[in-house]
Every structure is written in structure tokens, then in C-alpha cells.
């Protein structure tokens, strides 16, 4: 009897192995394998979210090259082997941006709808460089960018029906580079290409480093980057007088002011520049009868501006030539998804279009369609509008507004907790869902205070219980508590504050 059982067991094992063996030959593409493996991956990822709070938020140092072989395998491994390695070797090295206790930088939203949209886009895997390469990819992008423009109540000129329109870029850095090149080439068509050394860029010193990178790539001479000082007197917003002075000086010196970057929600402290006043200066004719290109970087705070009560922060956007916000920073759309609107699409396409024979087609040549390849740096592009469209439909605008308001409400809670503790102070008034704070200096010793705050940063992050980041404001080291992960609730904010307080007590007691 035992023998029989054993034989049967053996046979079953063999059958299973056989079945497994044949099933296990993964074809390049096969709908049933995609189904089977896809379901397993969905479960793996759902389990990740289920247990996400058990991971240290910031991971531990470099180790991976000791754990992985130094060349690719010649023959297939199984999904089990790979997923085991993900668990054991990859996840410990992941900083968990989706953890409810991730409060660093600005958020990278991942949502159910965004995830589904990204899956669908990956499944279709089209490359929509030209309209003809996948018309729905281009058309849906136009439509969804119009939807968002309306939610933001952007001026009509940014909508697709006239000369304007929106486009999805990978990130705010690409957006800013694209419009800077468009602006540069527009000026140089009049001023001559040897005038490059005369072009001047303006922004506050709170502007994201993406502007500096764009200047480097565009070849703007470093001595022509006007980085105007902003300070506490305006809560780090750019003062229009400073801009006016700089522009006047440059005009007198025979230089060409050509690009102004205004900020709505700076990276350090969510400062908001006075757009209307800045735009007025940008739009005065210079000697080259060339107005400056006015770009508004609202990468983070632009998300909040879909709520009527926050819309005021982009008042004056009607004077801008371009406007940018990152939907992945607050609108539940998985990274990457950076929305750029321009008033004059032809300024962009004139700078970026290239039409080799192998891309020519009837629709493009008849000028009947938009070819987004001419609105960006790269030729090829993914079908990114799908995820934004699915987010908008599966949640609806009102849900998105509540989502943003909730984060701002949580930030208020944190702000209050900080204010109530005499060891701490809030630096700059909180506007959106970022709180800038620090341990207060003792005996006015700012230097020691700075190092103490950096020590606190390290201590808090090393705990693995939360992850925050820092910045510098007027020479002060400041801690940034940025709320925006989809899973964050009030309890996470309160727990985080408790850890910060405990680590601070320990530091201050030393």
C-alpha cells in the first residue's frame, strides 16, 4: 500500500514536473502565459502594498553587486527565483516612496488607477512619435491635457483648439528645457545665432536646479544666468523690483533678456512668485522687440490649483508663455507624467521638428494632425495619457480635490505639532502640504544649530521609521516634511512626529 502511494506520489511529481517544464518555457509573448504570470505579479505587488509598513522607509547602503552574478544567465530562470531575489536582494535596497511614512522630497504618487493605466500602456506598447504611429495616443493626450487645463482654469490660449496646447513630458526638467530651446531659437532667428552669448535668463535663487541644467544644455553663458536673491521678507518669492532692475541693467549693457522662470511652489519651501507682476515685466518690449519667454514652473503646487481655493496661486498665469505641473506629485498618476502647456506650439515645433523621409506620412504632410515628436527632445514616446485619463475617470475631479485637501489638512496637523514644541520652529509659513521646520538654535549659535539639524535628519532617517529630507534657506539648515503619499493617514504623521521628537530629545540631551 505504501509502495503504491509512493509510486503514485512519484508519478504525480513527474507529471507536475513535465507540465511545469513545458509550461515553464516562457515564450517571448503568449496571451495565456501573460495572463498566468501577470496574475502572479499582481499578487506580488498587492502583497508588497499590504506589508509596505514593515519595510524601513529609507534603505541600507550598496551591496547589490556582491549579491548578483556578474554576467547574465545563458538559460531561463523561473519567476519564483526572480521574485525571491526581488524580496531578498532588491527590496532591501529600495527606498519606499509609497510607504505612508515617506515624507522626503516631493511625493511620487502611485494609485490603483494609475497602476492600471500604466499596465495598459505597457501592454499596448505603442510608440506614438507621430500621429500615424498610433492616433489614439496623440488624440487622447490632446483631450486629457485640455481636461486638465480646464480643471486648472488655465487661459483659453493654452487649450488645443487654437495655437496652443498641452503635451506630456517625462519630468519638469524636460519641460523647462523644451521651452527654453524654443525661446532661444525664437530670439536667435531675429538676433542671429552669434547672439547666443547675449541671452539672459532670470529666476529667483529658489528655482529648481532643472533651470540651471537647461541653461547648461542650451548653452546659455553662465555669466548670463541671473539668479535673483529671495529671502524671508517675501517668504522666498521673487521680488518684481529685483527682476526689473536686472532686466534694465542688462538692456543697457546691450544684452538680451529672453527667458524668465517663475515658480509656484518652490522645491525648498513652496514659495510662490507673484506671476502677474513678473509677467508684466517679461512682456515689455525690449530693444529687440522681443518679449521674454515667461515659463511658470508649478511642478508640485500646480496640483493643488485644481481646487478653487488654491487657484489664486497661479493667478497671473495668463501672462505666461508656458506652464508646467507634474501630475505624479499630487494627482494620483504614477511617475512619469509631467504636463506642459504652451500658448504657441509653433515656437516649440520650429525648434524641435525634424522630418526624415522614413517618418513622412500623408496626415502629417497635410498638416492635419499633431506630431508630438516635434514637441519634445526624443523622437519616441510612450502612451502616457492612458494613465492620466484612467485616473481622471476612475476617481473623478472631486475625489482628486479631496485627496489634495486631505494632505494639506495633515500638513496643518504637523505644523501645529511643531509649533507646540519649544525645541522646534516652523520656518516660512506653510501653504500647501510641505512643512519646513528645524530645531531652534541655542544661544543664537546658527552653525551648531545647522549641524544639529543635519544630525537629527540622519538619526530620523536611519531609524527606518520615516524618511524626510532637508534644504537650506538663508543659510539655515531646514528639515522638510512633505506629505503626499497615497497611503499616508493622520496616524503616520503623528507617529513620525513622535520619532522626530524622540531623536531630538536624545540629541539635545547629549
Residue 262 CB, nearest distance to a copy of itself (Å)?
18
Contact (Cβ atoms closer than 8 angstroms) between residue 459 and residue 506: yes
Identify residues 215-234 at the interface with a copy of itself (CB under 8 A): 216-219, 221
Q: Per the structure block, which three cell numbers stand in for 355?
A: 522630418
Q: Which of 186, 295, 452, 470 binds a copy of itself (CB under 8 A)?
A: 470
Of residues 253-282, those binding a copy of itself (CB under 8 A):
267-268
- Contact with a copy of itself (CB under 8 A) among 195, 359, 413, 507: 359
Q: List the one residue from 60, 232, 416, 490 that touches a copy of itself (CB under 8 A).
A: 60
Q: Considering only 188-196, 277-285, 290-298, 422-430, which stretch makes contact with a copy of itself by CB under 8 A?
A: 188-196
Choose which of 22, 54, 209, 233 interacts with a copy of itself (CB under 8 A): 209
Q: In the set 46, 88, 284, 440, which binds a copy of itself (CB under 8 A)?
A: 46
Q: Look at strands 424-426 and 165-169 and give their pairing.
A: unpaired
**How many angstroms separate the CA atoms of 246 and 228, rounded?**
9
In 131-171, which residue ranges form alpha helices assigned H by DSSP?
Answer: 135-151
Host H or E run for residue 449 = helix 446-462
Applying CB under 8 A, among 235, 349, 471, 501 the residue interacting with a copy of itself is 471
**Residue 272 and residue 305 in contact, taking contact as beta carbons nearer than 8 Å:** no
Q: Which of 6, 11, 30, 190 binds a copy of itself (CB under 8 A)?
A: 30
Residue 194 makes contact with a copy of itself by CB under 8 A: yes
Grid coordinates representing 45 are 505587488
Strands (DSSP E) found in 440-493: 467-473, 476-482
Segment 61-120, which members bind a copy of itself (CB under 8 A)?
A: 61-65, 68, 70-79, 81-82, 86, 89-98, 105, 108-116, 118-120
Element spanning 338, H or E: strand 338-342
The number of residues making up the chain comes to 510
- Single residue of 1, 3, 5, 31 touching a copy of itself by CB under 8 A: 31
Residues 281-320 that bind a copy of itself (CB under 8 A): none
210 binds a copy of itself (CB under 8 A): yes
Q: Which three cell numbers stand for residue 409?
A: 489638512
413 lies in the site for a copy of itself, by CB under 8 A = no
**325 touching a copy of itself, by CB under 8 A:** no
How many angstroms separate the CA atoms of 328 and 233, rounded?
31
Q: Which of 21, 356, 422, 509 binds a copy of itself (CB under 8 A)?
A: 356
Q: Residue 170: which H helix or E strand, with range?
A: none
DSSP 8-state code for residue 366: T
Q: Which of 297, 321, 336, 371 binds a copy of itself (CB under 8 A)?
A: 336
- Cα(59)–Cα(64) distance, rounded to whole angstroms? 12
- Give CA–CA dist 191/218, Å, rounded: 16
Q: What is the C-alpha separation between 483 and 195, in angstroms, rounded? A: 45
Nearer residue to a copy of itself within complex by CB, 137 or 278? 137
Q: How many other C-beta atoms lie within 10 A of the C-beta of residue 350?
A: 14
> Nearest-CA neighbor of 26 among 79, 92, 100?
79
Contact window for a copy of itself (CB under 8 A) among 271-279, 283-291, 347-355, 423-431: 347-355
Task: Compare residues 92 and 240 and give the one whose CB is closer to a copy of itself.
Answer: 92
Please identify which residue in 469, 499, 502, 507 interacts with a copy of itself, judged by CB under 8 A. 469
Q: Residue 29 interacts with a copy of itself (CB under 8 A)?
A: yes
Amino acid at each position: 500500500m505504501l509502495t503504491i502511494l509512493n509510486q503514485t506520489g512519484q508519478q504525480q511529481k513527474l507529471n507536475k514536473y513535465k507540465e511545469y517544464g513545458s509550461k515553464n518555457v516562457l515564450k517571448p509573448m503568449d496571451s495565456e502565459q501573460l495572463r498566468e504570470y501577470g496574475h502572479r505579479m499582481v499578487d506580488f505587488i498587492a502583497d508588497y502594498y499590504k506589508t509596505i509598513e514593515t519595510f524601513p522607509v529609507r534603505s541600507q547602503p550598496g551591496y547589490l553587486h556582491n549579491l548578483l552574478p556578474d554576467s547574465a544567465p545563458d538559460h531561463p530562470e523561473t519567476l519564483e527565483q526572480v521574485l525571491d531575489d526581488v524580496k531578498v536582494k532588491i527590496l532591501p535596497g529600495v527606498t519606499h516612496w509609497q510607504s505612508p511614512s515617506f515624507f522626503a522630497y516631493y511625493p511620487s504618487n502611485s494609485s490603483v488607477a494609475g497602476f492600471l493605466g500604466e499596465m495598459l500602456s505597457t501592454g499596448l506598447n505603442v510608440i506614438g512619435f507621430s500621429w500615424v504611429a498610433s492616433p489614439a495616443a496623440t488624440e487622447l493626450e490632446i483631450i486629457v491635457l485640455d481636461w486638465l487645463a480646464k480643471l486648472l482654469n488655465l487661459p483659453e490660449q493654452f487649450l488645443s483648439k487654437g495655437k496652443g496646447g498641452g503635451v506630456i513630458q517625462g519630468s519638469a526638467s524636460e519641460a523647462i528645457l523644451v521651452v527654453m530651446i524654443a525661446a532661444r531659437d525664437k530670439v536667435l532667428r531675429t538676433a542671429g545665432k552669434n547672439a547666443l552669448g547675449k541671452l539672459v535668463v532670470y529666476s529667483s535663487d529658489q528655482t529648481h536646479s532643472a533651470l540651471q541644467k537647461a541653461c547648461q544644455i542650451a548653452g546659455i553663458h553662465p555669466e548670463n544666468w541671473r539668479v535673483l536673491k529671495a529671502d524671508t521678507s517675501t517668504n522666498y518669492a521673487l521680488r518684481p523690483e529685483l527682476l526689473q532692475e536686472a532686466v534694465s541693467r542688462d538692456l543697457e549693457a546691450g544684452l538680451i533678456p529672453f527667458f524668465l522662470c517663475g515658480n509656484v511652489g518652490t522645491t525648498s519651501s513652496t514659495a510662490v512668485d507673484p506671476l502677474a507682476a513678473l509677467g508684466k515685466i517679461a512682456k515689455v518690449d525690449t530693444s529687440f522687440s522681443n518679449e521674454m519667454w515667461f515659463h511658470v514652473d508649478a511642478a508640485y503646487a500646480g496640483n493643488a490649483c485644481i481646487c478653487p481655493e488654491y487657484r489664486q496661486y497661479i493667478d497671473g498665469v495668463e501672462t505666461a508663455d508656458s506652464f508646467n505641473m507634474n501630475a505624479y506629485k499630487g494627482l494620483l498618476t504614477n511617475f512619469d507624467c509631467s504636463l506642459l502647456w504652451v500658448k504657441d506650439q509653433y515656437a516649440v515645433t520650429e525648434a524641435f521638428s525634424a522630418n526624415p523621409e522614413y517618418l513622412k506620412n500623408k496626415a502629417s504632410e497635410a498638416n492635419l494632425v499633431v506630431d508630438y515628436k516635434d514637441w519634445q527632445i526624443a523622437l519616441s514616446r510612450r502612451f502616457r495619457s492612458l494613465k492620466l485619463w484612467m485616473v481622471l475617470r476612475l476617481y473623478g475631479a472631486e475625489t482628486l480635490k479631496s485627496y489634495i485637501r486631505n494632505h494639506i489638512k495633515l500638513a496643518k496637523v504637523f505644523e501645529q505639532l511643531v509649533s507646540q514644541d519649544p525645541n522646534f520652529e516652523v520656518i516660512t509659513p506653510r501653504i500647501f502640504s510641505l512643512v519646513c521646520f528645524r530645531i531652534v538654535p541655542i544661544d543664537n549659535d546658527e552653525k551648531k544649530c545647522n549641524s544639529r539639524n543635519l544630525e537629527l535628519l540622519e538619526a530620523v532617517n536611519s531609524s527606518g521609521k520615516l524618511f524626510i529630507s532637508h534644504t537650506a534657506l538663508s543659510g539655515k539648515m531646514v528639515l522638510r516634511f512633505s506629505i503626499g503619499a497615497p497611503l499616508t493617514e493622520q496616524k503616520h504623521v503623528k507617529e513620525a512626529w513622535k520619532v522626530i521628537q524622540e531623536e531630538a530629545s536624545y540629541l539635545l540631551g547629549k
